[in-house]
Amino acid sequence: MVRIRMWRYGFYSVVASTGLSLAIMILVPWIFGYDPREVIGAGFGYALLSRRGLYSVIANATPLLATSAAWIVGVRTGVFNIGVEGAVQVAAIAALTCGAFVKLPSGFHHVVVCASALGAGALWMLPVAYLKRKWNVHEVLATIMLNWVGLFAVGATVSTFLRDSQWPMFSVQILPSARVLPLFGGSNVTILSPLSLLICLAVYFVFWHTRLGMHLRATGYDMSTARNLGIRTVKMQSMAFMSAGALAGFAGFVLTSGMPPMWRITDSAEILTNWGYLGIAVSVLSRNHPLVTPFGAFFIAMLLAAARGLQIYLKLPPEITQVVVGLIIFINAAPAFAGIVQKALLAVSGPSTSSREEGDRGE
C-alpha cells in the first residue's frame, strides 16, 4: 500500500507540476513578446510529441536518476551532500581517461571504465567525510568549496592533458571498445537508461528492506537516539558520503561512455555541469523517495528538452529558457526543500518543544 501511495503521489505531482510549468512557460516568453501558442507547440510539442525530443528526455533523465539517488542516500542519512555536482565531473574525467587511453577487450573495458568512474566519485567524497568525522566541518561548506575545486580541476585537466590535437575544442574520444552504443538508430538512448531505474530500485531495497538501510535511516531521523541505540552514526554518514559519490560516478560514466554520438566532452566541460544540482531538484520534487524519482527525473528532463525546442524553433535566447526552467524548478521544489531544511535544523537543535509536550501528554 505504501508503494502504491508513493507511485500515486509521483503521478499527481508530475501532473500538477506540468500544469504549473505550462503557466510559467507561457507567461515568461509572453513578457518578452512571444506568442503563447507557438511557445507551447515548440516547447512541449518538441519534448513530448517528436521522436527526437522523447529520445532527449530519456537520455537526460538517465544521469538525473543517478544524481538524485546520490542526494537521497545523503539526506536520508542526515547529510546535505551538495558535492554530488563535483563528484560527477571528476568521475567523468576518470571515465574519459580510462576509456581513451586504456586498451582492453570490449565488455571488460566497459566494466573497467564504469568502475573507475564509481571509484573516482567515491574517493572525491572522502575528504568531506573525513572533515565531518574529524572536526565536524559542515558538509554544505565543504562540498560547495570542493565543487569549485572539481570544476577548475576538470577544466585544467581537459585543456592540458586530454585535449584532442585535431579538434582543440574537444577532449580525446573514448575508444570504441568502451562506448555504450545507442539502443535506437540516431538516438542517444542507451542500455544505461533502464539500468539507472534499477539503481533507484536498489537504493529503495537497501534503505527499506535491509538492516544497513534501517541504521542509515535511523541516523538521518535522529542521530542522538540512533547513537544511544548502538548505531555507529559517524560510520553510517561516512558510508553515505562514499555511496553518494559512487552513484554520482555512475552519472559521470553516463555522460561520457554512455552519451553517443560524441563519447567526449568539450574543453569547457559544459556537458558535465549542473547535473548534481538538478538531481537535488529531482529528489526534492520526489519527496526524497527512490520510487518516485523516475517521475521527477522525467519532469526535469522534459523541461530541459522543451527549453531546447524553444531555442531550435523560436530562436528563443538561451538566457530566457534558463530563466523559465529555473523558475519552474524553484516554484515546484521550494516548499518541499523548506521542509527538509526545517527538519535538518530541528535534528541539529535536538528534540523540539512540541515533541517534549507530546511525550508529557503521553505519560
pLDDT at 250: 98
Predicted pLDDT at 335: 63
Q: Output the pLDDT for position 355.
A: 40
For residue 43, give Cα distances in angstroms to 59, 308, 315, 325.
17, 7, 11, 12
- The pTM score is 0.87
The reported pLDDT for the residue numbered 354 is 41
pLDDT recorded at residue 12: 65
Q: What does the pLDDT read at residue 363?
A: 36
Q: How far apart are CA 72 and CA 271, in angstroms?
A: 23
Identify the pLDDT of residue 78: 92
Q: What is the predicted pLDDT for the residue at 242? A: 96
Domain 2-17+60-289, CATH class in plain words: mainly alpha
Chunked mean pLDDT (size 10), the chain, 363 residues? 56 66 80 85 89 94 97 94 95 96 96 97 96 91 94 90 89 95 91 96 97 96 92 95 97 95 86 93 88 91 90 86 80 65 62 41 37
As a whole number of angstroms, the distance between CA 165 and CA 94 comes to 20
Grid coordinates belonging to 267: 574543453
Task: Report the distance separating Cα 327 and Cα 144, nearest Å.
Answer: 22
E strands present in 112-177: none
